[in-house]
């Protein structure tokens, strides 16, 4: 029996520059952190007492005799890719809903690959898990996904992640002390809009517009280093980080008319009027989670103004995907 725990992520700056159509020519960079909200995958070889060979339990339950009959695309692709010799049982649970802008599909793929490798008695590196998750999602499934989610889920932590070049991606942890990390965390608020959406469809629109949005994407990429400079400047005042988030959101929402909605705009405007300095909709857009930056003293008022949507407390994660339980399994 294997259980893996894989974090979800929050992306602050640079989202959109992690699509291959952009970074293969221009390079790309994001500033992101994983958080203490996780997906858990319970995996084992299926005992031979059943008429089916594969049992998958997530939102639905699947019982199939072949991998090809599995409906869940990532499960089907991962099992096809790794070619395990026996039938498999998998159960998925998560701390947040799917399709909500936190990289949940990539966290699932990374966590499932990690579980399958452990099940087969192999330990692989975080880089291997990230690269193979990218291959599964971008090549095997041909989904409109960037490259930051898979890397963040595998490595964990608060990082600058660069894309392009000889090794495809580079992960540079931000060496902030605990006091600064706590101060930044205390300025961040997370709210769930209640709307789930298909990120691949929205991302597809953005990818089509890439050649027409070069100035915007370059500006968003430069903001990654601007944000790091703010965090590294020795000051305890991070207000400029929040203001930069606001500027980045203004640019992001212009990339395609599917990124925001009138309801999301109303939520964001309400937060700004209540004292938030900035924020953004996480992920490709259209719904999911909204991240806000605000002075801790003003956060009770913001919560009150946004009382009709769910506030979600969180902290930063540093570990990335992990095997949290490994128990040997005697087979028949």
Query: Rounded CA gap, 18 and 107, in Å?
Result: 16
Residue 258 sits at φ, ψ, to 5 deg, of -95, 0
Residue 199 predicted with pLDDT over 60: no
* pLDDT tens, position by position, 69-86: 999 999 999 999 999 999
pLDDT of residue 259: 83
Residue 211 predicted with pLDDT over 90: no
Residue 132 predicted with pLDDT over 90: yes
Query: Rounded CA gap, 207 and 146, in Å?
Result: 10
Q: What is the spatial order of strands in the sheet that 278-281 belongs to?
A: 278-281, 289-293, 188-192, 310-311
**Token pair listed for 328:** 């040997």
Query: How big is the chain by its Cα radius of gyration, in Å?
Result: 20
% of the chain surpassing 70 pLDDT: 95
pLDDT of residue 90: 98
Residue 59 predicted with pLDDT over 80: yes
pLDDT of residue 255: 83
Beta bridge partners of residue 293, listed in sequence order: 188, 278
Domains, the chain, ordered by start? 2-174+318-326 (3.30.230.10), 178-314 (3.30.70.890)
pLDDT of residue 27: 94
- 100-104, 205-209, 210-214, 284-288: which has the minimum mean pLDDT? 205-209
pLDDT of residue 63: 97
Query: Rounded CA gap, 18 and 145, in Å?
Result: 9
With 0.85 as the threshold, say if the pTM is over it: yes
């Amino acid at each position: 029996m294997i259980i893996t725990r894989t974090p979800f992520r929050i992306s602050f700056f640079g989202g959109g520059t992690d699509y291959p159509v952009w970074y293969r020519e221009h390079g790309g960079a994001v500033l992101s952190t994983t958080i203490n909200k996780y997906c858990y995958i319970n995996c084992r070889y299926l005992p031979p007492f059943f008429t089916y060979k594969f049992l998958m339990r997530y939102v639905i339950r699947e019982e199939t005799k072949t991998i090809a009959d599995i409906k869940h695309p990532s499960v089907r692709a991962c099992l096809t890719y790794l070619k395990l010799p026996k039938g498999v049982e998998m159960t998925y649970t998560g701390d947040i809903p799917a399709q909500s802008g936190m990289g949940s599909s990539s966290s699932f793929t990374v966590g499932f690959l990690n579980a399958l490798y452990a099940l087969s008695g192999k330990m692989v590196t975080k880089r291997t898990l990230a690269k193979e998750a990218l291959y599964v999602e971008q090549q095997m499934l041909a989904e409109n996904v960037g490259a930051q989610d898979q890397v963040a889920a595998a490595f964990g932590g608060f990082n600058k992640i660069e894309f392009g070049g000889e090794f495809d991606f580079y992960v540079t942890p931000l060496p902030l002390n605990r006091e600064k990390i706590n101060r930044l965390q205390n300025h961040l608020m997370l709210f769930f809009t209640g709307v789930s959406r298909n990120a691949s469809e929205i991302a597809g629109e953005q990818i089509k517009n890439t050649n027409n949005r070069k100035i915007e994407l370059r500006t968003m990429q430069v903001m990654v280093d601007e944000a790091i400079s703010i965090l590294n400047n020795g000051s305890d005042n991070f207000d400029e980080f929040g203001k930069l988030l606001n500027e980045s959101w203004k640019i992001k929402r212009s990339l395609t008319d599917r990124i925001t909605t009138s309801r999301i705009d109303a939520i964001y405007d309400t937060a700004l009027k209540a004292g938030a300095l900035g924020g953004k909709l996480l992920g490709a857009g259209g719904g999911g989670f909204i991240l806000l930056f605000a002075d801790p003293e003003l956060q009770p008022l913001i919560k009150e103004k946004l009382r009709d949507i769910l506030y979600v407390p969180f902290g930063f994660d540093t570990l990335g995907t992990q095997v949290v339980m490994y128990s040997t399994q005697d087979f028949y």
